[in-house]
């Protein structure tokens, strides 16, 4: 039966063929801002639709595997997309040295302030107060804070190289530390402390957390894993074309360079953000926290080593250190997130404060 999922796959793989057979060489000759905008819109639409396919298949796997594995699969799938887009932009001929940094910072602002803020605001309006597992949120933040500070703030204060950059050995060791920390976090999330990431109603013990799950339907899982990869691959293959168009469009219209990072971050997190907002609307704040804080943690923990590896192998200059205004925003976001998730219940007030920071971020993108 030909359904929406099949149509999405046909469209995305058809676009891949069209790009490699026709558009790839022709795009290098396009200079008209209007035509660049048309091409960008087409690539953006196909990649975004494929990303929704990734989310759909990841959620199907989540149903089969349960939490926190389902959220973890979705988060890691999104990170693969982000890494592909960032790598494609970085490997372009005119890549800005701040592209990786701008993308990571934009993801953090969109996730930690935009989606979390809107989610808490909607949840507060609809349900007044929402509860969640405090231990899980605290563990996310305890990993996220050092990862972000090491990657995005510390490079401004090292003296081995110019401000905002890292030496080869600093890059190597910091990448190892980041991967190791994220690896230990994954072990705790999926192993001995899995209960931290599943919401337990106050006063009741959830007996299902450590209870054996029904036998895995391996045939179903193989189908959804195959479809998941079939939706991810077109995004990876089309990312180079999108990177070319985005770079040309920003220069043609004289737009802020940081806008490239915002666009990539928006493409990457839009489907997962919608999934998070749906969860909070049905009073499942725990899933929203797992999605948002998990995405932020994996973005920094996994994207930074990839960016530094690309820079080391290509000899490309990469600037990771944030500007003072962005350091201020990041610091406020981390402090505010710690306060927001230090109580067992959230209201629309916390959501409003996060949204204010998100709108400040948007203003500074266009008017730094």
pLDDT one-digit tens code per residue, 151-197? 999 999 998 888 888 999 999 999 999 999 999 998 888 877 778 88
The yes-or-no verdict on residue 111 having pLDDT over 70 is yes
Full DSSP string of 2-29: --HHHHHHHHHHHHHHHIIIIIHHHGGG
Q: What is the pLDDT of residue 121?
A: 95
Kindly report which listed range (36-50, 262-276, 296-310) carries the lowest average pLDDT score.
Answer: 262-276
Angle at 59 between CA 134 and CA 17, to 5 degrees: 135
SS3 content of the chain, % helix, strand, coil (to 5): 75, 0, 20
- R_g of the chain computed on alpha carbons: 21
- Cis peptide bond upstream of 68, omega within 30: yes
Mean confidence (pLDDT) of the chain: 84
Confidence of residue 212 (pLDDT cuts 50, 70, 90): low
Q: Please report the pLDDT score of residue 206 as a whole number.
A: 47
Of residues 151 and 56, more confidence is placed in 151
pLDDT at residue 194 in the model: 79
Average pLDDT over residues 101-123: 92
pLDDT above 90: residue 322? yes
Q: Where is average pLDDT lowest: 141-150, 158-167, 227-236, 251-260?
A: 251-260
Residue 48 phi, psi (nearest 5): -65, -40
Q: Is the pLDDT of residue 207 over 50?
A: no
Give the model's pLDDT for residue 213.
Answer: 57
- Domain covering 4-366, topology: A middle domain of Talin 1 (1.20.1420)
Residue 346 phi/psi, 5-degree rounding, is -120, 155
Task: Tell me the pLDDT band of 203, cut-offs 50, 70 and 90.
Answer: very low
Tokens of 342: 């230090």
Choose among 156, 108, 172: nearest CA to 308. 172
Residue 26 confidence (pLDDT) above 90: no
DSSP summary character for residue 92: S
Residue 9 reports pLDDT greater than 80: yes
**DSSP code string of 210-249:** SSPPPPP-HHHHHHHHHHHHHHHHHHHHHHHHHHHHHHHH
Report how far residue 55's alpha carbon sits from residue 63's, in angstroms, rounded to the nearest whole number. Answer: 12
What was the pLDDT predicted at 191? 77
Q: Are 8 and 49 in contact (CB under 8 A)?
A: yes
The Cα–Cα gap between 76 and 53 comes to 14
Phi, psi (rounded to 5 degrees) for 345:
-135, 150
Can you give the pLDDT at residue 325? 94
* pTM for the structure as a whole: 0.84
Cα distance between residue 40 and residue 56, in whole Å: 24
Coil vs helix vs strand at 96: coil
Q: Does the pLDDT value for residue 361 go beyond 80?
A: yes
């Amino acid at each position: 039966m030909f359904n929406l999922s099949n149509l999405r796959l046909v469209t995305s793989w058809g676009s891949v063929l069209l790009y490699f057979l026709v558009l790839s060489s022709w795009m290098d000759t396009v200079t008209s801002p209007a035509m660049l905008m048309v091409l960008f819109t087409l690539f953006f639409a196909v990649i975004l639709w494929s990303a929704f396919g990734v989310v759909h298949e990841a959620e199907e796997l989540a149903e089969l595997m349960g939490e926190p594995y389902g959220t973890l699969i979705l988060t890691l799938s999104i990170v693969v997309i982000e890494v592909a887009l960032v790598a494609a932009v970085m490997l372009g001929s005119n890549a800005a040295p701040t592209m990786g940094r701008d993308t990571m910072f934009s993801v953090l602002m969109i996730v930690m302030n935009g989606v979390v803020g809107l989610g808490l605001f909607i949840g507060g309006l609809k349900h007044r107060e929402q509860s969640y597992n405090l231990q899980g949120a605290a563990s996310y933040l305890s990993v996220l804070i050092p990862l972000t500070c090491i990657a995005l703030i510390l490079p401004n204060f090292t003296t081995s190289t110019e401000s905002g950059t890292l030496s080869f050995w600093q890059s190597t060791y910091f990448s190892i530390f980041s991967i190791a920390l994220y690896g230990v976090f994954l072990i705790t999330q999926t192993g001995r402390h899995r209960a931290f990431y599943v919401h337990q109603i106050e006063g009741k013990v959830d007996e299902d957390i450590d209870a054996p799950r029904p036998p895995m339907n391996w045939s179903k899982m193989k189908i959804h894993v195959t479809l998941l990869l079939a939706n991810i691959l077109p995004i990876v293959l089309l990312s180079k074309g999108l990177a070319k168009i985005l770079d040309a469009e920003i220069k043609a219209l004289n737009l802020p360079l940081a806008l490239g990072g915002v666009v990539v971050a928006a493409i990457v997190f839009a489907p997962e953000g919608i999934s998070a907002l749906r969860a909070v609307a049905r009073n499942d704040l725990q899933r929203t926290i797992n999605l948002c804080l998990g995405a932020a943690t994996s973005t920094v923990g996994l994207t930074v080593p990839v960016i530094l590896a690309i820079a080391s192998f290509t000899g490309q200059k990469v600037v990771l250190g944030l500007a003072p205004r962005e350091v201020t925003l990041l610091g406020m976001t981390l402090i505010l997130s710690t306060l927001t998730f230090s109580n067992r219940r959230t209201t629309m007030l916390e959501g409003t404060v996060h949204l204010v920071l998100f709108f400040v971020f948007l203003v500074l993108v266009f008017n730094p």
